[in-house]
């Protein structure tokens, strides 16, 4: 059986999953966080030689060892958006007959090549090749030698090139198959497309290095003083690691040095009353780790951002930093209207800024891990993340058994591999408050195994999976598209575990509707602790009609069949990131300051969950018959979460229809909005 159609073969020679981290040559450079300044980072993204084949067997044997005079293609990109192969959109259905682990007989294949230069000094280091995303199956060769293979499209994959790397020019050859057995668990309501769609780069690792890192923050019972726990796996050449914790102003809070033991580095550091991380105040400290070899020389410096944040379930409620929370969220796919899932980080940041500007405080990564830099942005900008791994087998619903492979032990290793790689890579991010085992894949033995492995790797966060309907093993009970009346019943008769609506308010056509009605119920019950609109962005792809006019295409516009037509046009923003009227409505119903007018008084109530109202004005304009008769600005006093204040409102003189317009604006700028933001 071929490796791309064998569910028992997940990888060959892929390195174990680890926390995403880049080492630097000195502390000053490490503190910039710019990986392009690291002497360990060698980017390979750019133009690669490329040829498209209808079947893997059509790729010429000499491809792996000889430079080919082929066309070129952008990396990262999806080859379908560059004119190769066919785009197809389905929601839950597979684009191939259901016969696991087999998919298609003629499997579209992309053959990629590029060269890179290494020096003799580079060869004294460990040469690691890293893919942040390649779909769906990839084989790697270097200078004609087989390096390995990987599955798991939206999970990072690393390979050790050191034994086959040479000084001077090196030839890297990568074969990518569009479909594999892994496609059965990558059926996530999006365009079927393939390629090296995220960055590719080399990491030139020193002999004395940190191989993996895990940081955990906890608080005392009063949620004031904290403990920072650090565990690091280090190579045998490390003699000691110096550590220093600094705040955002660069002030050193503590420092020390430790020699590795048999199991690496383990630290438990007391941090008195640190400023805490929350979406409302995403304050980040930095843990600087300086690695030294046997001669005492610095070999690398890591600067790990730390947010002091603790997630606890107590009395059936989810608490963050001791406070009961509500997540006002959206489900977000990666999508660009020109490049599909090959999304640049500038667009990702614009997505997150738009969320912050519309009062959204949470995002579910539907339905796969993002580029590792996404989580750095959510840490910095301040968003709760329900971090979902790369898993959905929705298409089995079409044959009457959505749990078919989810409850098949033969697929357990493939399922567990998905959560293991995800948690290991992202567990150091304070913005992640919950892991999610996947989406719409039924329920069975493999979900139970995933949950157990997730808890082994990270016992500090709750685990979510919607189709564990009674929360048999997971920590959060979840539903999709429950009616308002149902949600009220859920609140009145609560489950012993916290509840979220992982999908609701389908934003298609003139939707989402009923948001105010939903919000009244959500605000009424503490036990409903999250709600996530489906979904963030329309998945339209920019194309041209026969007359050369641009339009955004959807399923069927590329001759694809079967397809689910415009079901991918269901977002709160248009394909070009223009906000929709639905997003404006959502912003209003989840606004963190609530206004009500009665008996000549305007009452302002704070719905912030962590921070006091500050730097905020109330702008009041009175109009009679369309003419402004009064205007004033009232600085709001500091209001604790849940606190209120009142403002006297004088009735306008004269007769006619009168309106009071109240706008709440920030006085100063934030990292995500200019001064005067409403």
- E strands present in 408-549: 432-436, 463-464, 477-480, 499-504, 528-533, 541-544
The CB density around residue 223, as the number of other CB atoms within 10 Å, is: 16
CA atoms within 13 A on the CB side of 657: 2
Q: What is the radius of gyration, based on Cα positions, of the chain?
A: 26
Active-site residue, selected from the candidate residues 158, 440, 466, 467: 440
Dist CA 627 CA 661 (whole Å): 12
Is the distance from CB of 57 to CB of 48 less than 8 angstroms?
A: no
Structure tokens at 164: 């086959």
Instruction: Tell me if residue 503 is catalytic.
Output: yes
Dist CA 444 CA 391 (whole Å): 14
Is the distance from CB of 92 to CB of 397 less than 8 angstroms?
A: yes
- Number of helices and strands (H, E) in the chain? 8, 45
Q: Sort residue 565 into left (φ over 0), alpha (ψ -120 to 50) or beta.
A: left
Dist CA 105 CA 673 (whole Å): 51
Instruction: Tell me if residue 392 is catalytic.
Output: no
Dist CA 513 CA 586 (whole Å): 10
Dist CA 138 CA 128 (whole Å): 16
Q: Sort residue 548 into left (φ over 0), alpha (ψ -120 to 50) or beta.
A: left
Dist CA 153 CA 416 (whole Å): 15
Dist CA 640 CA 638 (whole Å): 7
Structure tokens at 590: 């989840």
Our CA angle for 506, 605, 384, nearest 5°, is: 45
Is the distance from CB of 52 to CB of 86 less than 8 angstroms?
A: no
Instruction: Write the burial class of residue 357 (CB in 10 Å: 0-12 exposed, 13-18 middle, 19+ buried).
Output: middle
Is the distance from CB of 351 to CB of 366 less than 8 angstroms?
A: no
Give the catalytic positions in this structure.
Answer: 440, 503
């Amino acid at each position: 059986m071929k490796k791309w159609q064998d569910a028992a073969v997940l990888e060959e020679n892929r390195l174990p999953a680890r926390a995403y981290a880049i080492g630097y040559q000195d502390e000053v450079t490490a503190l910039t966080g710019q990986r392009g300044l690291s002497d360990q980072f060698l980017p390979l993204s750019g133009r690669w030689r490329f040829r498209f084949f209808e079947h893997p067997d059509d790729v010429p044997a000499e491809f792996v060892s000889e430079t080919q005079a082929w066309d070129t293609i952008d990396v990262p990109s999806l080859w379908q958006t560059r004119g190769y192969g066919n785009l197809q959109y389905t929601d839950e259905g597979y684009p191939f007959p259901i016969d696991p682990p087999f998919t298609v007989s003629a499997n579209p294949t992309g053959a990629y090549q590029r060269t890179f230069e290494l020096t003799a000094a580079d060869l004294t280091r460990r040469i690691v090749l890293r893919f942040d995303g390649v779909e769906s199956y990839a084989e790697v060769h270097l200078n004609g030698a087989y390096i390995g293979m990987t599955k798991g499209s939206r999970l990072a994959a690393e390979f050790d090139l050191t034994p086959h790397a040479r000084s001077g020019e090196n030839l890297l050859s990568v074969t990518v198959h569009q479909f594999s057995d892994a496609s059965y668990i990558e059926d996530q309501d999006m365009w079927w497309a393939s390629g090296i769609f995220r960055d590719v780069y080399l990491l030139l690792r020193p002999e004395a290095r940190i191989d993996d890192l895990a940081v955990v923050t906890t608080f005392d019972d009063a949620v004031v003083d904290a403990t920072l726990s650090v565990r690091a796996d280090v190579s045998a050449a490390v003699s000691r690691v110096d550590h220093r914790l600094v705040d955002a102003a660069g002030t050193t809070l503590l420092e020390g040095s430790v020699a590795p033991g048999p199991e690496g580095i383990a630290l438990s550091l007391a941090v008195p009353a640190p400023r805490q991380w929350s979406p409302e105040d995403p304050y980040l400290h930095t843990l600087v780790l300086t690695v030294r070899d046997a001669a005492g020389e610095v070999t690398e410096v890591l600067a790990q951002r730390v947010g002091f944040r603790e997630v606890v379930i107590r009395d059936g409620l989810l608490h963050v930093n001791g406070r009961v929370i509500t997540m006002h969220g959206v489900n977000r796919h990666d999508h660009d209207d020109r490049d599909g899932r090959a999304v640049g980080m500038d667009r990702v940041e614009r997505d997150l800024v738009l969320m912050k500007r519309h009062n959204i405080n949470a995002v579910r990564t539907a339905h796969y891990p993002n580029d590792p830099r996404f989580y750095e942005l959510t840490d910095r900008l301040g968003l709760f993340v329900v971090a979902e791994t790369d898993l959905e087998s929705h298409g089995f619903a079409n044959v009457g058994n959505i749990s078919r492979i989810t409850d098949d032990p033969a697929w357990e290793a493939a399922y567990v591999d998905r959560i293991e790689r995800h948690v290991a890579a992202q567990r150091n991010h304070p913005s992640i408050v919950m892991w999610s085992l996947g989406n719409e894949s039924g329920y069975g033995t493999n979900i139970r195994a995933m949950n157990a492995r997730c808890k082994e790797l990270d016992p500090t966060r709750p685990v979510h999976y919607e189709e564990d309907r009674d929360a048999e093993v997971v920590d959060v009970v979840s539903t999709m598209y429950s009616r308002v009346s149902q949600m009220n019943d859920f609140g009145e008769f609560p489950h012993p575990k916290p509840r979220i609506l992982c999908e609701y308010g389908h934003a298609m056509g003139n939707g989402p509707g009923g948001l105010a009605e939903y919000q009244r119920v959500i605000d009424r019950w503490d036990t409903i602790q999250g709600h996530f609109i489906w979904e963030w962005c329309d998945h339209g792809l920019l194309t041209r009609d026969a007359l050369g006019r641009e339009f955004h295409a959807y399923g069927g516009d590329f001759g694809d069949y079967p397809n689910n037509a415009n079901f991918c046009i269901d977002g709160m923003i248009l394909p070009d990131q223009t906000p929709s009227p639905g997003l404006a409505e959502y912003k209003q119903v989840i606004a963190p300051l609530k206004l009500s007018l009665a008996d000549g008084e305007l009452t302002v109530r704070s719905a912030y969950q962590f921070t006091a109202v500050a730097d905020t004005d109330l702008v009041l304009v009175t109009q009679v018959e369309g003419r402004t008769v009064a205007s004033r600005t009232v600085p709001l006093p500091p209001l604790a979460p849940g606190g209120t204040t009142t403002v006297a409102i004088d009735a306008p003189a004269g007769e006619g229809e009168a309106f009071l317009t109240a706008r709440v604006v920030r006085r100063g700028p934030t990292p995500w909005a200019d001064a005067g933001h409403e």
